[in-house]
Amino acid sequence: MSGVSAGIATQLVLAAVALVAATLAPARMRSHVAGAACAGLGVAGAVTGLVAMSGGNPGAGLQIPVTLPLGLPLEPLLLAPDRLGGVFLALAGAVAAVTAVYGIGYATGPAASRSGWAAFAVFILGMQLVPAASDVVSFLVAWETMAIGSTVLLLADHGARSEVVRATQWYAVMTHASFLLLLAGFAVLVAETGGTSFATIAAAGVSGTSASVAFVLLLGGFATKAGLVPVHVWLPRAHPEAPSHVSAAMSAAMVKMGVYGVLLAALRLLPQGPAWWAGLLLVLALASALYGILQASVATDLKRLLAYSTTENVGLILVAVAVALLLRGAGDEPVADVALTAALLLTVSHAAFKTVLFLGAGAILHATGERDLDRLGGLAAVMPTTSLTFGVAALGAAALPVTSGFAAEWVLLQSLIHGDGRDDVALAILLPITVAIVALTAGLALLTFVKAYGIAFLARPRSPAAEHGHEGGRSMRAAMLLGAAAVVGLGLAPGPVAAGLAEAVGASGIEVVGVLGVSLPAVDALLDPVALILLAAIVLAPVVVVHLAAARRAPRRDVDLAWGCGGVRVSPRMQYTATSYAEPLVRVFDDALQPSRDVEVSHADESRYLVSQVRFRQRVTDLVADRAYEPIVRATLGIGEGARRIQNGSIHRYLGFSFTALVLVLLAVTW
């Protein structure tokens, strides 16, 4: 038995253990036992993924022969991750382990119920089997397991808040639309090739119209899971309403399965696609990146902000994939390989920092009961660990040195500016637009995360709840610290990480330089974050010496008030809030966001000229959701209303229906 198949068998066993623990353990110990089992399941997945990534034993895995009495040409189910699958298996496992540890301390109420933990185990198992699956049937089974587990988890708080039900409806509909598209896409491929295993499909080399139909269907399905515009609408609804460790796992790992799916389709199953596939993907990805970050930058609900930022990051990942495909089509293999590596680096980096960000948002919610940035503030003083870890992860999300996000975005930009557009007019137009949009996205991400961190953790508390915040339990803090360490670690050592990922996706020309740095000879560029830190330390040293000498002579003195133009009113309500922070941006992008503003002025009784109160309300809605989905929702509801007319509750009518149906069936049988 190879390492990979042993690992997959272990995962199945551990998932069973977690299910048993979740259902049988007494309520007092349930979170500990089930959480530990889920964490074990995650670790098993991560280790299996790493083994599969190193590619020691290709094709090894767990084979389950099935024979259905239908005469369908099914090949045996095969759970054998290839090297690319190994990357995503390792990623899902690591995220699952961290979020499960966090869940031990965080889950309360419905999230800590029997069904809550059981669904979490099922969700993790499904997520880890998706990249392990090597044939269509097991892929779809794993995909649906993941979808069902996450839907149950999302429903956890439905008793407490009515929004949860709405969010779950959106999620369930979108996720099943995604499943149907995938089913259709794979059905086309299976019909063309006559086999259900990925190896058979890839070997057949499908091309022509049926390949394009299959690709578009698969892209639609995977894009829905990945949260690309315009099928992102479930993200900003589902992520805020789910328990935070679940949103972390969904955003950091489950959404990545959509990315995995796109890579599976574009690299493994249908590698010889025409250029317009890549063009279509690029347009969708750029729109997602820009729209996602624009919505995130004006959002005030912390978890909604993070959800939109997920759309942005998935957009950037798929920009890298699309550029890699375009360049590969144009014969520029070395640069295409760099872009592909950038895609995987961005994926891993996003998983690391988004886990921490969602867990941090959960810690804030746990401590204050608030998700609204406008009512937070000053949390750095009462929640130091959360503040530190959230800060590090926010740096990662803003792609600043020396975090994982920086290294990944650097590789992406290097691949973008070295694509040669001199011979190819399409590239000459697409690449500069791509660079510009990626740059604007990076700039807005900077503002978004300065806002998220600065408004929540710095300044003075904007509500009593924020004033009385407190740090979460030990397991919560441990999970966040682990995630933050990963963000910094991946940022300090881009070389080994990039080299490993490049190998997994079959890209060449990514080299480790020095101990931890990365070198890209194809584009003549090099990045060694450790050396950068050393340089910074050297230039900082004399400054620190002067600083300390000055500090000895003139120590810091505390004063009461900040500068208020001579005024002494220090109400925390005078501070900038998240809404006001993003106000200039809302004005600049007025046409794209179309915010609605209400200003209500109420006058004092004595005189119309005296103002007693001014109310200002601003709402920024998701235009895509409003314009594209509302008509569909209305039409569906209309059909439902119409259908109600034929079922009016009269028993005679129902008997009539039954009779008619019986007659029709008899006719059909005897015909």
333 is an interface residue for another protein by CB under 8 A: no
Closer of 553 and 608 to another protein (Cβ)? 553
Closer of 219 and 427 to another protein (Cβ)? 427
Q: 454, 469, 495, 500: which one contacts another protein (CB under 8 A)?
A: 454
Of 108-116, 217-225, 331-339, 568-576, the segment contacting another protein by CB under 8 A is: 568-576
20 is an interface residue for another protein by CB under 8 A: no
641 is an interface residue for another protein by CB under 8 A: no
DSSP 333-356: HHHHHHHHHHHHHHHHHHHHHHHH
Write the CA distances from 342 to 416, 497, 514, 518, 620, integer angstroms: 10, 11, 20, 12, 33
**How far, in Å, CA of 17 to CA of 505, rounded?**
33
Of 351-359, 411-419, 473-481, 592-600, the segment contacting another protein by CB under 8 A is: 411-419
331 is an interface residue for another protein by CB under 8 A: no
327 is an interface residue for another protein by CB under 8 A: no
Please report how close the Cβ of residue 75 comes to another protein at its closest, in angstroms.
Answer: 47
563 is an interface residue for another protein by CB under 8 A: yes
562 is an interface residue for another protein by CB under 8 A: yes
User: What residues from 87 to 126 belong to the interface with another protein (CB under 8 A)?
Assistant: none
Q: 451, 484, 488, 504: which one contacts another protein (CB under 8 A)?
A: 451
User: What residues from 380 to 399 belong to the interface with another protein (CB under 8 A)?
Assistant: 380-381, 395, 398-399
Coil, strand, or helix at residue 364?
helix
Residues 44-47: contacts with CB under 8 Å, at least 24 apart:
44/7, 44/10, 44/11, 44/14, 44/93, 45/7, 45/11, 45/89, 45/90, 45/92, 45/93, 45/96, 45/97, 45/124, 45/128, 46/89, 46/90, 46/93, 46/94, 46/97, 47/7, 47/90, 47/93
DSSP 247-288: HHHIIIIIHHHHHHHHHIIIIIISTT--HHHHHHHHHHHHHH
Of 1-9, 34-42, 501-509, 549-557, the segment contacting another protein by CB under 8 A is: 549-557
User: What residues from 529 to 548 belong to the interface with another protein (CB under 8 A)?
Assistant: 531-532, 535-536, 539-540, 543-544, 546-547
Coil, strand, or helix at residue 633?
helix
**How far, in Å, CA of 371 to CA of 182, rounded?**
35
Please report how close the Cβ of residue 583 comes to another protein at its closest, in angstroms.
Answer: 7
Of 99-107, 137-145, 302-310, 408-416, the segment contacting another protein by CB under 8 A is: 408-416
User: What residues from 361 to 380 belong to the interface with another protein (CB under 8 A)?
Assistant: 377-378, 380
72 is an interface residue for another protein by CB under 8 A: no
Q: Closest Cα partner for 343 from 326, 321, 363, 368?
A: 321
Of 128-136, 192-200, 349-357, 569-577, the segment contacting another protein by CB under 8 A is: 569-577
Write the CA distances from 557 to 551, 554, 560, integer angstroms: 11, 9, 10
Please report how close the Cβ of residue 367 comes to another protein at its closest, in angstroms.
Answer: 18
3 is an interface residue for another protein by CB under 8 A: no
Beta bridge partners of 599: 616
Closer of 145 and 297 to another protein (Cβ)? 297
470 is an interface residue for another protein by CB under 8 A: no
Q: 180, 460, 478, 618: which one contacts another protein (CB under 8 A)?
A: 460
Closer of 129 and 394 to another protein (Cβ)? 394
Please report how close the Cβ of residue 104 comes to another protein at its closest, in angstroms.
Answer: 30
The residue type found at 359 is L
Quick check: 210 and 270 in contact, CB under 8 A?
no
Residues near 610 by beta carbon (within 8 Å), at least 6 away in sequence: 603, 604
276, exposed or middle or buried, with CB in 10 Å at 0-12, 13-18, 19+? Answer: exposed
559 is an interface residue for another protein by CB under 8 A: yes
Closer of 140 and 440 to another protein (Cβ)? 440
**How far, in Å, CA of 556 to CA of 626, rounded?**
54
**DSSP annotation of 625:** I
401 is an interface residue for another protein by CB under 8 A: yes
587 is an interface residue for another protein by CB under 8 A: yes
Closer of 333 and 503 to another protein (Cβ)? 333
Q: What tokens does 535 get? A: 């340089």
Longest pairwise C-alpha distance within the chain: 105
Of 48-56, 115-123, 174-182, 409-417, the segment contacting another protein by CB under 8 A is: 409-417
Please report how close the Cβ of residue 610 comes to another protein at its closest, in angstroms.
Answer: 23
User: What residues from 156 to 195 belong to the interface with another protein (CB under 8 A)?
Assistant: none
Q: How far is CA 129 from the centre of its chain?
A: 18
User: Per-residue string for binding with another protein, 291-310, x by CB under 8 A?
Assistant: ------x-------------
Beta bridge partners of 372: 301
User: What residues from 496 to 535 belong to the interface with another protein (CB under 8 A)?
Assistant: 513-514, 517, 523-528, 531-532, 535
Closer of 428 and 666 to another protein (Cβ)? 428
132 is an interface residue for another protein by CB under 8 A: no
Please report how close the Cβ of residue 251 comes to another protein at its closest, in angstroms.
Answer: 23
Please report how close the Cβ of residue 625 comes to another protein at its closest, in angstroms.
Answer: 24
Closer of 55 and 421 to another protein (Cβ)? 421
558 is an interface residue for another protein by CB under 8 A: yes
598 is an interface residue for another protein by CB under 8 A: no
Write the CA distances from 166 to 475, 483, 624, 628, integer angstroms: 31, 31, 18, 18
Dihedrals phi, psi of 68, to nearest 5 degrees = -95, 140
29 is an interface residue for another protein by CB under 8 A: no
Closer of 438 and 505 to another protein (Cβ)? 438
Q: What tokens does 57 get? A: 């034993």
Closer of 571 and 648 to another protein (Cβ)? 571
Residues listed for the chain: 671
User: What residues from 242 to 301 belong to the interface with another protein (CB under 8 A)?
Assistant: 297
The residue type found at 494 is P
**How far, in Å, CA of 95 to CA of 651, rounded?**
54
Q: What tokens does 373 get? A: 């940035």
**DSSP annotation of 112:** G
If binding means CB under 8 A, how many residues of this protein chain bind another protein?
Answer: 87
Q: 46, 446, 498, 510: which one contacts another protein (CB under 8 A)?
A: 446
Please report how close the Cβ of residue 410 comes to another protein at its closest, in angstroms.
Answer: 5
**How far, in Å, CA of 368 to CA of 363, rounded?**
9
Please report how close the Cβ of residue 299 comes to another protein at its closest, in angstroms.
Answer: 15
User: What residues from 34 to 63 belong to the interface with another protein (CB under 8 A)?
Assistant: none
